[in-house]
Structure 1
Amino acid sequence: MEKVKRILINYSVPIAFLVLSISAVVIAKIPWTFLAAEVVRRLSRNTFLVLSLIIPIVAGMGLNFGIVLGAMAGQAAMFFVVDRKISGVPGILLSMIFATGIAIVLGWLAGLVLNKARGREMITSMILGFFANGVYQLIFLFFAGSLIPFSTKAMLLTGGVGLRNTVDLWGTLAGALNSVWVIRIGMIRIFVVPLLIVAALCVFITLLFKTKLGQDIRAVGQDIHVAEVAGINVNKVRIIAVIMSTVLAAIGQIIYLQDIGTINTYNSHEQVALFSIATLLVGGASTMKASIWNAIIGVLLFHTLFVVAPSAGNKLFGQPQVGEFFREFLAYAVIAFALAMHGWKLRQMRKA
């Protein structure tokens, strides 16, 4: 009985979401082919971003709300590639290279700040995201077209300064990875290349934690003081973990946006951390422990509910918007629950 109770406590969020998802599917009465097609597409589109959260969690830094910095780096790189009219897979690869360079710098700066805020990394990374967003808005609203030259005038506002609210990727980067290899099973389209990239990242993360660096990251996450006594340069390891997370988030945002087909210049990056973190937590992760399977299960459960919530809201209340509000509420509620459980477990550990 005690074992069952412990399982229910540890996996309460995935179990609750599984029940909610099944209930919503039954209520919405959505065709399974449509649901499968949507979930498979979201699996290839969103999983990379969710996986970018794992390394900082293992390093003991909690949920990295700072992946929004990586998302900004990815978008910035795509703006310049689109401006130079480099399309297709070469454009995506060039975007990833540019984004990696920007993300390394941003991740290093974020790592330095987070090292000064040990024990408060989550709230600090969230504030860093807000600050970086302000700088991002300043650059692309006031410097683009003036200090930063853009040859494609259609990307700029009427006055020639500042990027437009949306940047269209059709004809350049939209679907560049998706269209390389598509498997069709009835109505279901499986975009193989993004899924292969996700699989490659899973292999990379698995192999990383078998290396000396990976073992150091685990040691730092388990106990900073013991790691320091063992001769590990804790600050350096934590900075490397943040840099890796930021770079992966930048690449993940590029994969996400090429699937969407447009960039909402000033908003596309804002909800990246919120929904990626909520997705990981739905998969059974916590602020102290996360795995690849948590990310994959989280994407399946969270996005199944995302797909069916508007239809379920419409069936129950006659308003699809109710489902939209419900999705937003769930994202925040899951994060709040995870943080509450984190605080409760810490208190239990101190009592023991």
Structure 2
Amino acid sequence: MKQESKLKKILSPTFLADNAVVLIFVVITIAAIPVSGLPLNSILQEILTRIGRNCFLVFSLILPIMAGMGINFGMVLGAMAGQIGLIFAVDWNIVGVPGLVFASLIAIPIAALLGWLAGEILNRARGREMVTGYVLGFFMDGFYQFIVLYLMGAIIPIHSLNIVLSRGYGIRNTLTLDSVRQSLDHFIPLRIGSLNLPIMNYLVIGVLCLFIIWFRKTKLGQDMRAVGQNQAVAHAAGIPVDRTRILAIVISTILASLGQIIFLQNMGNIATYNAHKQTGFFAAAAILVGGASVSKASIPNVFIGTMLLHLMYIVVPRAGTNLFGDAMIGEYFRDAFSYAIIALALVIHAWRKRAQADAARSDLRGGVTEIKG
């Protein structure tokens, strides 16, 4: 009987709607793994590396979702701050983990300032926070380009000529991070069989998980949850709604700056003018693939989504190559699925909101549906 009830629950329309995105990705990846021809050890090594590299960035989205602000596409502002920190770490030639700490100390105040500005703007765009954050990222990218391309080396002192353009100012298009490359990944080396585990990355992510669990129980965390559920009720209860929303964006932007530093130290180089642009998109896709929505997200959503999304990124291009003889077709499939999953998640969220609104109106009418005609 219990098994039958569980099966009915799994096959119920509500469960399928709640987990449609996850189920689609599970089907896609399971179908693509054998077609790709990749050995399981290689796939597992890539997944372990990418979880350690990307999860911190995805975690930066949780608090704004909890505060009812949707997915913080403005997290690219934090990514810009993280890259500025790394540029100075390379310029000062600070090696290893101290270089990452130095980059973080520079990035955090910049990210906090940018997060505060973003929060002020998003408070004036209630109900349109996601699209506003997305456009804000493009807007602030112009300032970032101006600082890195013109001010650094001209007004902002840069000591190393190796990272400056030949004209004497501006940072090169690509910077190698030899001084900090994979310093966090290799800080606590562990090899199990043929697998290399980035233990320090996992420890940092574990500390962040504990922070989020603790933060949710604090007064500010409870305020964010209340604001996310109903702003009018939260305001009536004496909660400073605007301030709470701003703090959610500030913390998210700071975490995004640290996440970008962790991501780039693993990659070993920076595409100075482009590395930050898709940060919000890939993080949003990951958390939505994990079963989160624009109004609810949890720690398991981050891990599940990062694993499934990057599993698709690993196997689908190779599967496309084997099926069609062209690697680009696999890349097209990968991009199409990524964008489609964000669109599907937003459509499901809009459908749920409309269904809830219709149910609320029906309750106000005493459950009697109005008959037209």
CA RMSD of aligned residues (A): 0.9
User: 1:186 Cα deviation (Å)?
Assistant: 2.2
What one-letter code is carried by the residue in structure 2 that aligns with 1:56? Answer: P
**Are the aligned partners of 1:34 and 1:187 in contact in 2 as well (CA < 8 Å)?**
no
Structure 2 equivalent of residue 30 of structure 1 = 38
User: 1:6 Cα deviation (Å)?
Assistant: 1.0
Percent of residue pairs bearing the same amino acid type: 47
In structure 2, the residue corresponding to 1:151 is in which secondary structure?
coil
1:198 lines up with 2:205 in the alignment? yes
Structure 2 equivalent of residue 141 of structure 1 = 149
1:262 lines up with 2:266 in the alignment? no
Q: Deviations over 1:9-28 (max 9, x none)?
A: 11000011011111110111
Q: Deviations over 1:75-100 (max 9, x none)?
A: 00110111011111111111111111
TM-score (norm 2): 0.93
| CA distance in structure 2 between the partners assigned to 1:89 and 1:218 by the alignment | 35
Structure 2 equivalent of residue 64 of structure 1 = 72
In structure 2, the residue corresponding to 1:288 is in which secondary structure?
coil
What one-letter code is carried by the residue in structure 1 that aligns with 2:206? Answer: A
Structure 1 equivalent of residue 241 of structure 2 = 234
**Are the aligned partners of 2:17 and 2:348 in contact in 1 as well (CA < 8 Å)?**
no
| CA distance in structure 2 between the partners assigned to 1:117 and 1:15 by the alignment | 33
Structure 2 equivalent of residue 88 of structure 1 = 96
User: 1:338 Cα deviation (Å)?
Assistant: 1.1
Of residues 248, 251, 255, the one that matches 2:258 is 251
Of residues 347, 350, 353, the one that matches 1:346 is 353
1:108 lines up with 2:120 in the alignment? no
User: 1:247 Cα deviation (Å)?
Assistant: 0.3
| CA distance in structure 2 between the partners assigned to 1:221 and 1:247 by the alignment | 20
**Are the aligned partners of 1:61 and 1:221 in contact in 2 as well (CA < 8 Å)?**
yes
| CA distance in structure 2 between the partners assigned to 1:159 and 1:94 by the alignment | 28
User: 1:123 Cα deviation (Å)?
Assistant: 0.6
Structure 2 equivalent of residue 43 of structure 1 = 51
Q: Deviations over 1:217-249 (max 9, x none)?
A: 000000000000000000010010000000000
What one-letter code is carried by the residue in structure 1 that aligns with 2:345? Answer: A
1:300 lines up with 2:277 in the alignment? no
Aligned residues: 351
Q: Deviations over 1:39-66 (max 9, x none)?
A: 0000000000001000000000001000
User: 1:109 Cα deviation (Å)?
Assistant: 0.5
| CA distance in structure 2 between the partners assigned to 1:192 and 1:158 by the alignment | 40
**Are the aligned partners of 2:177 and 2:268 in contact in 1 as well (CA < 8 Å)?**
yes
Structure 1 equivalent of residue 22 of structure 2 = 14
Structure 1 equivalent of residue 231 of structure 2 = 224
Structure 1 runs (4+) deviating above 3 angstroms are none
User: 1:314 Cα deviation (Å)?
Assistant: 0.7
| CA distance in structure 2 between the partners assigned to 1:93 and 1:143 by the alignment | 24
Structure 1 equivalent of residue 294 of structure 2 = 287
Of the structure 1 ranges 121-130 and 144-153, higher mean CA displacement relative to structure 2 is found in 144-153
Structure 2 equivalent of residue 278 of structure 1 = 285
In structure 2, the residue corresponding to 1:142 is in which secondary structure?
helix
Q: Deviations over 1:170-227 (max 9, x none)?
A: 1x11111011112112221101001100011011001100111110000000000000
| CA distance in structure 2 between the partners assigned to 1:258 and 1:266 by the alignment | 17
